[in-house]
Each structure stands twice: as C-alpha cells, then as structure tokens.
Structure 1
Amino acid sequence: MVWVLDASDLPPVPGGYVLLIRLDTFAALPPRWPNERLKAGRYVYFGSANGPGGIRARCARHFRRQKKRHWHVDWLTVRAPSVRAAAFPNRSECSLAARALEISGVLVPVEGFGSSDCQKCPAHLLALSPGISADQFLGAIIVARR
C-alpha cells in the first residue's frame, strides 16, 4: 500500500481512508475552534466513505481545491499544497485512528477535530512529529491492522 496523489488510483469501494496533509503555513480552523490555528506541518486525517463511489469518490472530493467547506478537514485541504491518500477497504476511520494513536510521534493537535459524530475518538486529525516519515507511519498502520 502506498500514498496516492490521484483518486483514480484508489478503489471505488466502501471503507476507511487516511489523508496525508502538508501545511506550509498556519491554517485557521472551522468556527467551532475560533481561537485555534494549526501550525505548518504534516497531519493525517481519518475518514470513511460508504456512499456511492466509495473511497475513490470521497478522496476525489478531498483532492479538489475548489469546493464548499462541508467537513472539518475541508478547512485544511483547500490550503494544503499537498494532499495524499491511502485506502483501507472494509476498515473504519475509528479503528484506523485508534491504531495511529499507538504510534510514537503521533499527537492530537485539536480535540474533536473531524470526529464530532464520534463518541470514542479524541480526534480524527492527528499530527506527525518530524521524527516519523509518512511512509513509516503508513507502514505502522498496515502492520497494526494484521
């Protein structure tokens, strides 16, 4: 499994996905967090896509820069110079986020971001420390799911 830059490389099936979002400057957050901003850095967002077109369709939307801000993560993807995705068919965003939180160097930058409809996850957006590469992170998620 690899990070992809084009949604056509993702499967059109239901399941979870992870976005790798690089911010080169700070990013303002949705009105729910009026005094919060994310610093420049690398973030991972966990989502699920169970509607028509599955993971491919949902990630195609996330890759678009021009869109109405509907989800929390839209506030980041419209500003990010780089967004990549990895697909996890038949997995939930919560199970992926829970695994990620077990990895050293992964932090919750804003409580509740991306998980307003979830009662068990502290957030569906996590920050990667400089010491962990995107590929190391993805490898750890893959190993953890077995």
Structure 2
Amino acid sequence: MIFCASAVSTPAAPGAYALWLRLDATLDVRVGKISATLPAGDYLYCGSARGSGGLRARLARHMRPQQRAHWHVDQLTAGASLLGAFVEEQGDECALNAALADLPIPIAGFGSSDCRRCAAHLRLWPKGAALPSDWENARKAAESPLPLERGAPGGA
C-alpha cells in the first residue's frame, strides 16, 4: 500500500485504489433511479485499474475535468477536491473496501453496480475516524498531501 498525491507518482501497474475526496458542500448524485445528497466531508472511493496504463492512467482520468459522467464516481470527482489515492499494485477493490468496513456507507450501491460482494464502493470518512494502520502508515510515508487542481501540471 502506498499513498500517491498525483497521477505522476502512481505506478503504471494494474491494481486497486481508494480515492480520497473532499466535498466542501453538499452534492446531489444519482445511483440508478435513486437520487441522494452527499453531505460535505471526506470520502474514500474504492476502484480498480486493470486496463492499459494501469493505476497511473486511471488516477489521471479521475483528476481530469470530465465532459460527461461515465461511472458513479465521476459525479463525485466533478464536485470534490481530490486529495490523493491509496494504491495497491495487483490489489483488489473489494479487499480495499472490506478494510474500510468500520466506515459508514453513505449511499447503497454507489460505485458497486457491477459487484456482487460489496454494498457500495464509497465510504464516508468522518472526522476522527481511524483508517487501517497500513493506510495511515502509507499516508504518513508520503509527502504531505495537498489538494490537487484538476488539469494543473502534475495533477493531470
């Protein structure tokens, strides 16, 4: 497990990731036929990157401004600050999500419409809530995470 503050520092290998996102205000989202409002706060979204370019390409995509939403998380990245990502080469998104089982699920089904194991791939990270020790160690080992500007040099 490593923490990456930019796509450039992310391995190009396949694997799994958890985006650390911050909403400064509420955000209305849709999951299928369900509309919901996410409150301001920090979130962790678990995903996988198995295609060409691996983790680096997928994180770069999440950091770019999007023209249209392709995945549930695109609704969130459009309105949130991306603070970085916890990545695991050859990792499994459901295993990352399971490691966050103590964190609440804000919207059932968010990011997991193609998953039979998880109720959602989005977790609310309340202030004061601890992450698993290997996640905290990865974050502390990385340079101080700063919000990334989508489209800025090093953030694309």
Question: Would the aligned equivalents of 2:26 and 2:40 in 1 still touch at CA under 8 Å?
Answer: yes
Whether 1:129 and 2:126 are equivalent positions in the alignment is yes
Q: What's the offset of the Cα at 1:130?
A: 1.1
Give the gaps of 5 or more residues in structure 2. 138-156
Alignment of 1:73-112 (within 5 A): 73-101=73-101, 103=102, 106-112=103-109
CA distance in 2, matches of 1:80, 1:19: 11
TM-score by length of 2: 0.80
Question: Would the aligned equivalents of 1:64 and 1:78 in 2 still touch at CA under 8 Å?
Answer: no
CA distance in 2, matches of 1:10, 1:76: 21
Matched positions, count: 137
TM-score by length of 1: 0.85
CA distance in 2, matches of 1:140, 1:131: 17
CA distance in 2, matches of 1:122, 1:31: 13
Give the gaps of 5 or more residues in structure 1. none
Match in the other structure for 1:65: 65
Q: What's the offset of the Cα at 1:142?
A: 7.2
Q: What's the offset of the Cα at 1:31?
A: 5.4
Q: What's the offset of the Cα at 1:34?
A: 4.2
Question: Would the aligned equivalents of 2:99 and 2:132 in 1 still touch at CA under 8 Å?
Answer: no
Alignment of 1:1-146 (within 5 A): 2-30=2-30, 32-101=32-101, 103=102, 106-132=103-129, 136-137=130-131, 139-141=133-135
CA distance in 1, matches of 2:40, 2:33: 17
Q: Match for 1:137: what amino acid?
A: L
CA distance in 1, matches of 2:6, 2:60: 7
Please give the root-mean-square deviation of Cα atoms over the aligned residues, in Å.
1.9
Query: Using CA pairs below 8 Å that are at least 6 residues apart, which structure has the higher relative contact order?
Result: 2
Q: What's the offset of the Cα at 1:3?
A: 3.3
Identity rate, percent? 40
